[in-house]
Structure 1
Amino acid sequence: MREIFAPMRSVIVAFSGGVDSTFVLKVAHQTIGDRVLALTTTSPTMPAEDRESALTMARLIGARHLVLESNELEIPGYASNPLNRCYLCKHNLFTVCEAKAAELGIDVIVDGLNLDDLNDYRPGMQAASEKRVRHPLVEAELTKAEIRELSRAMNLPTWDRPASPCLSSRFPYGTTITPEALAQVSAGEQILHAMGFRVARVRYHGDVARIELEQHEMPRIFEPANRDYVDREFKKIGFRFVTIDLKGFRSGSLNEGLVLASSPPKP
């Protein structure tokens, strides 16, 4: 990773504050210092804790950090939630990065795509290719597990942080994404987090909330007091029915059936 960054005169890191982009920013900053700029775009699709993580991690690393508002729901076609929604989002993100790089005279844009991501449905990779965004973690052939291990060795608090994709990933493709529905999903996940469920997804199916939890945590939500509390609180935020997915949490569950049917371009 250091060998990758060393020849770069200046870099923008598309920075979410998650495990991967935090590790990228840390190594880049260690290697070329203040010639690195972390750029974060925030919008209604970004979980509140992600914004806080981005601010905290950039401050901890000591990197320059720029936060820009960018509402994905204003991107033509995005709110209808097509199969290439991730492409539309990433194209917008990298367009913002590209414009800022041109304004500031920065040479290279990088992101936090890792080797494992190549095995998932990732239409955003096409946008990265179009905008000539580099993937240092892929170039260094680092898997998610290795990134977590290295992050722990570097005392980065994100080393064991759960994955936290944008809130739009809670909506089945073809389901319209609205500010109100995003707020419902966010509120539902905050309820579960406050109860101590560290990893929780609220999948939006109109009147129905489908909750995904880690398998070892599932017995706790069926305890009568917890079950009644979740049912009551979820109905307060607008859901009519609350269900538990018996298969438990799995990242990208709404992509199931799409991975084998698609062939995203590999960087």
Structure 2
Amino acid sequence: MSEATATKEQQIKYENLKEYLRSLGSVAVAFSSGVDSTFLLKTAHDVLGDKCLAITAMSCSFPKRELEEAKAFCEKEGIRHITVESEELEIEGFCQNPTNRCYICKKELFEKIWEIARKEGLNAVAEGSNMDDNGDYRPGLQAVAELEVKSPLRHSELYKEDIRALSKDLGLPTWEKQSFACLSSRFVYGETITKEKLGMVDKAEQLLLDLGFHQLRVRIHGTLARIEVLPDELPKVLENREQIVKAFKEYGFTYVTMDLQGYRMGSMNETLKK
């Protein structure tokens, strides 16, 4: 990396990450085109070359824009890329949206990725969780542990701010990309997840992105939309109030609200702490 902006400590973590990936010999990376998995995939490919494979799961909870970004990145970097169908709504128990929903989904997903990895003769499967994920309710990490999926970013003690700084030095376009999680995470636990409602959320969030909002979520409660944006962008919601309300109602929402606390990771998990 030239003209590095990452700190010396962050660069040491980066070297440790490369050494860890090198020790794996070969790896299939679960690739969502997000900040973390893009950085992980880029580093793994730099270290392992053709012994690194990207695998992206396609489903109705994964926006088309993210899939297209994943394909474009792999093509640009010359990384072999496989897409796999992973329709969560067909998994028993998933649609009921229990508190371990993420575990149900990740277990099925990583089993499919492992199947591909073994056919390709790869030693390991890796995913992109980082140290910040240790502080929130993440049932999906149970599936990661059970299926012996590697978490190189956590192994190297990399936090989101480290990954963004290092991504910037690597010239990755995702260094300032908004954090993203699958659309199913927008539903309050216990509310049935449907393809129709996932589509409503996807359209609503795309509208806000098109309006220039950076970090955001549209949480769904029945037919009520709860918009989360960064606190300093709250006035912008009001400035675009009429357009947002009109569009959201066309998407199928009855009520459109703004969360005064603003965007925060895992806000649906707040109900679990009561």
* Superposition TM-score, scaled by structure 1 size: 0.93
* One-letter amino acid matched to 2:154: V
Q: Do 1:18 and 1:53's aligned partners in 2 also have CA atoms closer than 8 Å? A: no
Deviation string 1:148-180 (CA, Å, 9 cap, x unpaired) is 100000001011111110000100000000000
Residue 87 (structure 2) aligns with: 71
* One-letter amino acid matched to 1:228: E
How far apart are 1:133 and its partner, in Å? 0.4
Counterpart check, 1:7 vs 2:20: no
8-17 vs 37-46, which moves further? 8-17
Residue 106 (structure 1) aligns with: 122
Residue 170 (structure 2) aligns with: 154
Q: Do 1:13 and 1:111's aligned partners in 2 also have CA atoms closer than 8 Å? A: yes
How far apart are 1:146 and its partner, in Å? 0.4
Stretches of 4+ moved more than 4 A in 1? none
Counterpart check, 1:246 vs 2:263: no
How far apart are 1:257 and its partner, in Å? 4.6
54-63 vs 78-87, which moves further? 54-63
Q: Do 1:109 and 1:133's aligned partners in 2 also have CA atoms closer than 8 Å? A: yes
1:191-210 alignment, distance < 5 Å: 191-210=207-226
C-alpha RMSD over aligned residues: 1.3
How far apart are 1:60 and its partner, in Å? 2.7
Residue 50 (structure 2) aligns with: 34
Deviation string 1:106-159 (CA, Å, 9 cap, x unpaired) is 111111011111111110111011111011111111111001100000001011
Residue 88 (structure 1) aligns with: 104
Structure-2 change in CA distance of 1:257 and 1:240 (3 Å) = closer
* One-letter amino acid matched to 1:236: E
Distance across 1 between alignment mates of 2:259 and 2:112: 37
* Superposition TM-score, scaled by structure 2 size: 0.91
Count of residue correspondences: 258
Q: Which runs of 5+ in 1 are unaligned?
A: 262-267
Q: Which runs of 5+ in 2 are unaligned?
A: 1-16
How far apart are 1:202 and its partner, in Å? 1.1
1:13-52 alignment, distance < 5 Å: 13-52=29-68
Distance across 2 between alignment mates of 1:221 and 1:5: 43
Q: State, as a whole percentage, how many aligned pairs show the same letter.
A: 47
Distance across 2 between alignment mates of 1:137 and 1:197: 28
